[in-house]
Structure formats: C-alpha cells, structure tokens
Amino acid sequence: MYITMNCCAFAQQTDDTAKPMEIPRYKEIKPFAGTSKAIILDTATGNQWTIDLPIPDDVSGPAGAPKSVNGSVFSFPIDPPNLALAKLTVSAASDIGSCVAIAVGDRAFVTAAHCVYGSGGFFRNVKVLPGHLHGSTPYTFTASKIVVFNGYTEGQDPAHDLAFVLVANDLPGNIKRYSLPSQTPSCLGAPKVDLYSYEIKNFEYKPQVRVTGNLVGPRGCHFGTFWHMQPRPHGTSGTPSVTDSGEVISIYAGILIGKPDFGIDARISRGKACFLRREIEGKNC
C-alpha cells in the first residue's frame, strides 16, 4: 500500500539512518536503441501506465571516451540553505536509501531514476525533504506520482537515468523553482555549471555545498551522458548541474570505470522536459 501525502512540519526531525544510495558503476555504456516512453506510478493506487513522450527524445551523443582535464575544484557551503535542494529517501527491501533532488516546478522534483526504481519495480515511501540540513527539514513531502523512462528501466542506459517525483500540493512560495532546458543540452563546448549537493558524513547530509571549478561540469559527451572529472560519493545521486541562468541541465547518474573513474550525468533532454511541462503541468513546450 502506497502512502499519498504530503506536507509538513517546521524543523521536523528526520531519519538519518537512511543509507546513502550506492552510485551505479559502469564498465561501458550501451545506448538504448528503443523509443523513449515515460512510465508513471500513482502511489495512492499502485497503478502504473506508459505513455509516449510528446516529442521524440534526443540524447544521442558521440561514442568517444572522455579525456583527462587538468584543473581545480572548489566547494563552498550554501548559507542560508537552498530550500529547493532536497534529500530524498525511499524504502527499498528492508533498507531506507537516500539521494539528492531539486525542485523544477510547483509540484515537481527531478532526481536519478535509480533512486526511485530498481530490481524491476518502483521503491516505496518516496519522500522529498527540501531544505534538509543537519538531521532536520522545514518541509516533508511524500510522492503522489513518480515518472521514470524505459531507456533506463529496460535498457539500463545511464543517459536515461532520470526521474520526476511529483507531490500533491504546490510547494511553498519560499522554495525556488529551477527551470528545465528548452533544448537538449549540447555535447559541444563546456557551459559553466555549479553542482548543488550535500557533504555526507555518517549517513548525515551536512552541509549543503555548491561545487564549482574547471574540472566540474559538462566536458563533452560519452554515449549521450555528460561527464565530470571527479565522481561524487554515495548518496549524492541526483545531484543537479545548474547553469548561471538557473536551468538544471543534467543529473548525476553514475560512475564510468576507468583510469581515472569519471562521474557521469544524465542530460535532461528536450523530450523529457517537454513531457513534464505538457503532460504533468499542462503547459506548452
């Protein structure tokens, strides 16, 4: 039985026994060759259905392996906390796992698909804790619907390791809504981005951090995924890459094993962004 609601008590204590979700590791990426579809779960009823994306998905990219880049990375605490940045918790088997999510609409968060889906099914009791810090959070929302994509559920392609977590009521006005790209982010060039995430110690998410520098952010594509020089630790799956204009262009999805290892992001394609805007929010795209 799925739980349907919602919100919230100020400075609510939260369960910091949740184990940071392990980040998938890939020896190679095998691009999904099928037609992208969205799989939607209604958590109140447990019903699932599949629909086509309103416009074709386009996450293809060159197959060339990433190359090393020299540079430095800087991490800055976010103070005061960014209320749009959230800890996400789920029940999976006998464990409680945790990831990162960020608000991208009045009732929508984006995270990694492997944070909400695994072993052929959706995880239970998916909760989003925006502004979580040091074991407490100003708000707690329980997912009303969850959206994943068949490129990940069927193909295990990290380029599709993306999920939308929807809640029943509008978020409070003091929580910023980040935007999604109107076009699939290009594999060419290196747009400046910041990673908004958490430092994690002893299962506790503290503090919120903004990671920037010339080793961080898109440096090209590898089978449709963006890649980063420094993989993030377990529990940070779903960490967003955010441009100066406030667009979330990709989500931390896994690690490409190599010498060195590379962190890899699922790009937020125009097709997936348009699905959220048109099918969920009733807007044009």
Residue 263 lies in a domain: yes
Domain membership of residue 119 (yes or no) is: yes
Is 23 inside a domain boundary? no
Which of 187-191, 217-221, 235-239 has maximum average pLDDT? 235-239
Q: Which domain holds residue 219?
A: 36-55+62-280
Instruction: Please report whether residue 26 resides in a domain.
Output: no
Query: Which tokens sit at 202?
Result: 């002893």
What's this model's pTM, rounded to 2 decimal places?
Answer: 0.90
Per-residue pLDDT band at 191 (split at 50, 70, 90): low
Above 50 in pLDDT, residue 1? no
Say what the pLDDT of residue 261 is.
Answer: 83
Q: Quick one: pLDDT band at residue 29, thresholds 50, 70, 90?
A: confident
Rounded distance, CA 159 to CA 254, Å? 10
What is the model's pLDDT at position 146?
98
Residue 69 pLDDT level (bands cut at 50, 70, 90): low
Instruction: Give 55: exposed, middle or buried? Use CB within 10 Å, 0-12, 13-18, 19+.
Output: middle
Determine what percent of the chain is predicted with pLDDT higher than 90: 53
pLDDT reported for residue 153: 97
Q: Which residues have a Cβ under 8 Å from the Cβ of 242 and sit 6 or more positions away?
A: 102, 178, 193, 194, 195, 196, 248, 249
**What is the model's pLDDT at position 127?**
96
Which domain CATH number covers 200?
A: 2.40.10.10
Q: Is residue 15 part of a domain?
A: no
Better pLDDT: 91 or 173: 173
- Given this model, what pLDDT does residue 6 score? 30
Parallel/antiparallel/unpaired status of strands 121-122 and 117-118: antiparallel
Determine the pLDDT at residue 11.
36
The whole-number average pLDDT for the span 252-271 is 89
Domain membership flag for residue 29: no
* Residue 13 covered by a domain: no
Average pLDDT over residues 1-17: 35
**What total number of domains does the chain contain?**
1
Instruction: Give a yes or no: residue 169 inside a domain.
Output: yes
> What is the identity of the amino acid at 245?
S
